[in-house]
Structure 1
Amino acid sequence: MQRMKQVLWVALMAAGLAGASAFAADRTERVTLGEGTTTLKGHVTGYDSVQYSLTAQPGQQLLIRLATSNPSNYLNVERSGMAEAVCQGALTGNTCSVRAETAADYVVDVFLMRNAARRGEQAEYTLSIEHGSAQPGPSAGAARDAAAKEAAAAAVAACKSALALKSGVNAVFVLPLSHVAAAGGYEVFLSLKGAQWLCTTDPRGNVNRVEQR
């Protein structure tokens, strides 16, 4: 009996280690902006991601570009303290222009989209960050409002496209209350041929589900 318990314990430990290896290996790197352009090279595999953290000064303009070997490799730019990404590379061709209205910490998240990650695909990429001198700009509140509106509009557009693809009908409309923030993403309320639909997105702007209400 004791021998059987030992064998069972070893088997459970091995299964646990195997399961742990399937989790994403997220890596964080701190970036210090110098003069001109900062260039970073790296790679991601499957559900891995690399998160580059940096600090921008008040009024500083950042131009962030991702060149990659895999068309399913994207970047998101997130600002500390905000639930939604201020820029989603999947919607902007992997080029993000960000203006820091106040001193702020940003994270550039480089990852593979879910379909490619599920297949265990890889990507070699070059991330470039151009940064100009700090200039005075509008208030931080106005910047947050603008970023939130941009993220919400992107979520609505993604959901309309997903429902049109699912139904084969392009005449998709949003309800008067078009969206609410939820779980870091959005719930988007749509109408198709008189029926109401609910679409949810995650913090990266991916559509999680589309279902009739």
Structure 2
Amino acid sequence: MSEYVFGYLLAHIRGHDFYRQQQRQKYWQVEPLPRHTSLQSMRFLLLGTGSIAQHLAKTAQHFGMHVTGINSTGNTVDGFDVIETMPTLGEALTKADVVVNLLPSTPATRNVLNVDMLAMLKPDAILFNVGRGDALDLDALNSQLIVNPTQQAIIDVFTQEPLPNSHAIWERENAIITPHISAPSQPEQIVTLFSQNYHSYLAGKPLLNIIDFNKGY
């Protein structure tokens, strides 16, 4: 998932599409400089601070980004410069250059990125949804992208999958839609995890990736 996020992020801020189009025209011209031409010093907001978010946070810090995490407790987490809680989400969104949703699907997270929260985004913010589709109001995002053409959304998960071909978000030039492929599980990874848990179970040791059914994830 880190490869997915940073692949699209780097391509966007370094003008990949612009230079590909220019190459087709055999034209040599430097793109008019946007506000950001490097990840360094950009503000990176992660909704969620679990294991995936921690990996993304460390990668972001390697690029010199300022990393903020949102979780339910406000407890400090390694790899983050700042930890906020959900009640401060709106304020955090106003400061973020890049927002990555990694939240699970629970009653508390459904439509957390709604019309009011999306309106808090910077005019040139970049939004990723790679957690769960129902955390994002897709209709509100579609309207948001129309009004703010310099914003960018990269969306990999949806409340309804496949995404219906009638949905207007397909038409947005400033949206990238992928079919739930940001973090594919390779067979060897699945077998390794199962084997580790199997042997731990036989030995009476703690298991990896335990689900808390009370929390919903």
Query: What TM bracket, shorter-length normalisation?
Result: under 0.3
Structure showing greater Rg? 1
TM-score by length of 2: 0.27
More strand by share: 1
TM-score by length of 1: 0.28
Relative contact order, higher structure (CA 8 A, sep 6+): 1
